[in-house]
Homo-oligomer: A and B are copies of this chain.
């Protein structure tokens, strides 16, 4: 292997200038060489820097096979653009180089009338499978499954099975596992191809297959498939309908993308960013994504602020309180976020739920008491020296303990309750938590200070 062939190391500038040359010269030969020497992903990344009509020129220099490769590796907007360059019949020819899952994705981004028109003109066996995949939600097990697997009837002999496999292998995604079904296409179990290769030729598959206890229904959420595959370290997971007939399979490398997607979404939505925003989204898009969340934050900030306003006469009397109060609120937010992040990652892995684990809330209460006492005493000690007021220490310690209990309980219960009522906890937990810890933090600290005001003066 030639080390200079590490195409993925080619930098973006080089790739862009190569594509520029090809567009300027309209040289089909060079265009096809480019597709051979570079990964489609890298070509698509570079194409993103060109105008629509330039992309049109470039794409039309390519063979249908290469166009299929480009389409499979494009994101939605690019797929919509490129597919708009072609007629129905051209697209059907391009589809012959793509697998069903990718064709379904592509049809899914097209306008309905176009999709229907194309499906009408495809082979019926093809369009039936595509219609099936398209009938499931994009983020369901049926929506991400592949239909390119090998299913064999249990009465076949090893010899017949091997002949069949040679026949259909080129069209399948997975050949390592063979799915064994009865005459009603119901899944009986799986056979490892290795076992088949070394078995006597006249054995029947019924004697070879092993039951496979894992499956998902096509309508199940992709997250269920992701949890099963990750937890039990599965290479493949069959997707079945209500009658246990096999419809497709989900592979561990598809799940890799699901995990990648769901986690980045979690990180983004936890911070109040729309999950579709990218680091290089354009200015207006980013603005549109971020301002709604900032507006919600503004409302909760106002609530916290008006709690402070309630105690303005206390603050007027002991102005040092205004410097101390953000510490109580802020530390509560931090402590609550620690709990929240643990609950959210455990939820993503399907390890925790409200019904089975609510008792752990007492651990958070204990944690709030202990951490609050430590942090509160230190903070109070320093402040009481600085402002020469020993009572500040007691009030600070008590407020910190109380607010950290609030923080722990809220950080623990908010995501679990949201999950329980089927609201995505990643989206709303963090803002609700901060609203709680800020408002309670100010209220507890300024409230206690007001009650013991005579001691503070």
Contacts and interface: CB of A to CB of B under 8 A. Distances in A.
Contacts of A360: 279-280
Contacts of A81: none
Interface string A327-340: 10111001101101
A92 interface: no
Interface residues of A, number: 123
Contacts of A188: 1
A53 B290 CA distance: 55
A335 B295 CA distance: 11
A375 B233 CA distance: 48
Interface string A372-394: 00110011001000100000000
Interface in A223-282: 228-233, 235, 244, 252-253, 255-257, 259-260, 263-264, 266-268, 270-273, 277-280
A268 B268 CA distance: 14
A39 B189 CA distance: 16
Given A73-B233, A297-B331, A309-B320, 6 more contacts: A175-B193, A255-B256, A287-B370, A293-B338, A297-B330, A297-B334
Given A273-B341, A294-B335, A5 B259 contact: no
A264 B326 contact: no
A301 interface: yes
Nearest to A171: B194
Interface stretch (A15-23, A121-129, A136-144, A343-351): A343-351
19 contacts: A8-B232, A41-B232, A41-B233, A175-B176, A253-B253, A263-B264, A264-B349, A266-B267, A268-B341, A278-B342, A279-B343, A280-B360, A283-B367, A290-B371, A294-B334, A312-B322, A316-B316, A322-B325, A326-B438
A306 interface: yes
Given A41-B232, A197-B166, A259-B259, A271 B337 contact: yes
B375 A295 contact: yes
A167 to B, nearest CB: 9
A26 interface: no
Contacts of A414: none
Given A341-B270, A357-B279, A438-B326, A363 B286 contact: yes
Interface of A: 1-3, 5-8, 12, 39, 41, 73, 165-166, 169-170, 174-176, 186-189, 193-194, 197-198, 211-215, 228-233, 235, 244, 252-253, 255-257, 259-260, 263-264, 266-268, 270-273, 277-280, 283, 286-287, 290-291, 293-295, 297-298, 301-302, 304-306, 308-309, 312-313, 315-316, 319-320, 322-327, 329-331, 334-335, 337-338, 340-346, 348-349, 351-352, 356-357, 360, 363, 366-367, 370-371, 374-375, 378-379, 382, 386, 434, 438, 442
A264 B169 contact: no
